[in-house]
């Protein structure tokens, strides 16, 4: 339903269609799109447009409309939803690999449990993207990117409808890879120029396939074709830059890079989540839109869920929840004492210490790669 409102009443999550003043028009980046930050609102106000049309049917639902759960309550549901979505991706890719007809509507219901879990406690799903790895990299990487994209999209005020579309876009981002020589992806060492040129064709291959299918939204097709474009124009396949890159692609590119950095690959070991965050931040204004990378860091934290950390009292813990108001002080699950002996797990919110707390002054002093101690951190999720 279209409604006319004053630009001074714009809020995050509203879907703006166009100017309603008859004078002046919104730039392409802001028309027929959602308001995802205060900067979007400021940009519209600077245009001296007093009223706009919004589509209330597409506006974001109020936040926290789902009952909120603790990490320990949600993790089992998150894992079940994760496995279900992983099976969904595998079925989609089997259809795609034989170039069969892809009916997106058949898979949308499989995404809902994952999105429900993210609404209740996004940290549970976020931790799975780091800890619940498998040897099916193409599938798990697509799913992990979808989860992180949904978390970031929701944080930026996207409606449930758009978050679902965004998630499916991320699941499909690498479909063009299924028709490439698989030995390229398992190669130990640097790719040759011809091999890299071959890989650079996968966004266009995915786009070509999707445009032949019935009922695939344009937002999804653009996200698949543009997820390797870069903010400064140095990406591929078309060298797009800045706001000419679709919002879905801007979100997915960050989440894609982060998940790739935190996964073991044949040519390098995984980075710890906090090192991946630092590396992403260093690419602000080159690879990634500055506002989008800032929002990503805010919603996943300096020490993202899934980090294995050493605390200032010598004990070891797994980060289970980000604290946006205190990004250096997340909620942790302490699992080892200072002698690295397993203990009864204890949850501690590092941001809620006080003078009478036995943990006053407790903080993270180091983020450690689990392989340092040959740990399988997934067993500490439960």
Average pLDDT, the chain: 88
**pLDDT tens column, 305-324:** 989 999 999 999 999 998 87
Integer angstrom CA distances of residue 57 from 2, 160, 162, 224, 319: 8, 11, 12, 25, 37
Q: Which strand (E) or helix (H) includes residue 56? A: none
Across the range 283-289, mean pLDDT stands at 95
CATH number given to 71-300: 1.10.3210.10
> What is residue 62's predicted lDDT score, i.e. its pLDDT?
47
The two tokens of residue 31 are 């028309």
How is residue 327 annotated by DSSP?
T
Q: Which residue has the higher pLDDT, 267 or 241?
A: 241
Classify residue 276 as left (phi > 0), alpha (psi -120 to 50) or beta.
Answer: alpha
- List, for residues 326-372, the tens digit of each pLDDT value: 888 999 999 999 999 999 999 999 988 755 566 678 999 999 987 77
- Domain borders along the chain are 2-58, 71-300, 308-380
8 Å CB contact between 140 and 247: no
Helix axes 122-131, 71-97, angle to 10 degrees: 60
> What SS3 class is residue 364?
strand
Q: What are the pLDDT digits (tens) for 122-135?
A: 999 999 998 766 66
pLDDT tens figures, 23-59: 668 887 788 888 877 788 888 888 888 888 888 666 6
Q: Say whether pLDDT at 109 is over 90.
A: no
Which of 63-72, 154-163, 227-236 is least confident? 63-72
pLDDT at residue 12, rounded to an integer: 74
Q: Could you report the per-residue pLDDT of 155-191, keeping only the tens digit for each?
A: 988 888 899 999 999 999 999 999 988 777 777 777 8
C-alpha closest to that of 171 among 119, 127, 111, 120 = 111
- Alpha-carbon distances of 276 from 70, 260, 287, 375, rounded to whole Å: 26, 9, 14, 20
Pairing of strands 331-336, 316-321: antiparallel
Both structure tokens of 213: 């299918």
3-state helix, strand, coil in the chain (%, to 5): 50, 15, 40
Residue whose C-alpha is closest to residue 122's, from 322, 326, 275: 322
pLDDT value of residue 59: 63
* Secondary structure string (H, E, C) spanning 97-158: HCCCCCCCHHHHHHHHHHHHHHHHCHHHHHHHHHHCCCCCHHHHHHHHHHHHHHHHHHHCCC
Q: Is pLDDT of 225 > 70?
A: yes
Q: What is the pLDDT of residue 246?
A: 95
Q: Taking the model in full, what pTM does it have?
A: 0.83
């Amino acid at each position: 339903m279209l409604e006319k409102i004053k630009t001074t009443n714009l809020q995050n999550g509203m879907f703006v269609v166009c100017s309603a003043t008859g004078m002046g028009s919104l730039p392409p980046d802001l028309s027929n799109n959602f308001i995802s930050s205060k900067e979007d609102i400021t940009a519209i106000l600077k245009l001296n447009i007093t009223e706009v049309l919004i589509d209330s049917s597409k506006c974001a639902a109020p936040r926290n409309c789902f009952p909120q759960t603790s990490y320990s309550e949600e993790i089992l549901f998150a894992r079940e939803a994760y496995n279900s979505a992983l099976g969904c991706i595998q079925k989609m890719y089997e259809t795609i690999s034989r170039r069969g007809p892809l009916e997106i509507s058949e898979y949308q219901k499989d995404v809902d449990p994952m999105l429900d879990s993210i609404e209740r406690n996004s940290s549970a799903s976020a931790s799975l993207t780091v800890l619940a790895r498998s040897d099916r990299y193409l599938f798990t990487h697509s799913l992990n990117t979808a989860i992180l994209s949904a978390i970031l999209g929701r944080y930026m005020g996207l409606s449930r409808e758009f978050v679902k579309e965004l998630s499916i876009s991320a699941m499909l981002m690498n479909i063009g890879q299924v028709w490439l020589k698989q030995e390229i992806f398992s190669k130990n060492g640097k790719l040759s120029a011809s091999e890299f040129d071959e890989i650079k064709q996968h966004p266009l291959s995915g786009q070509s396939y999707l445009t032949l299918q019935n009922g695939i939204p344009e937002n999804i097709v653009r996200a698949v074709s543009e997820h390797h474009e870069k903010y400064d124009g140095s990406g591929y396949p078309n060298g797009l830059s800045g706001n000419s890159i679709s919002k879905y692609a801007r979100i997915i590119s960050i989440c894609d890079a982060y998940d790739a950095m935190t996964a073991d690959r044949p040519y390098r070991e995984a980075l710890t989540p906090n090192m991946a965050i630092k590396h992403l931040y260093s690419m602000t204004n080159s690879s990634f839109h500055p506002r989008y990378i800032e929002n990503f860091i805010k919603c996943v934290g300096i020490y993202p869920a899934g980090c294995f950390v050493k605390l200032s009292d010598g004990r070891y813990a797994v980060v289970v929840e980000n604290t946006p108001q205190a990004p250096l002080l997340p909620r942790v699950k302490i699992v080892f004492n200072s002698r690295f002996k397993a203990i009864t797990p204890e949850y501690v919110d590092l941001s809620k210490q006080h003078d009478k707390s036995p943990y006053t002054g407790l903080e993270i002093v180091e983020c450690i790669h689990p392989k340092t101690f040959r740990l399988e951190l997934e067993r500490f999720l439960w």
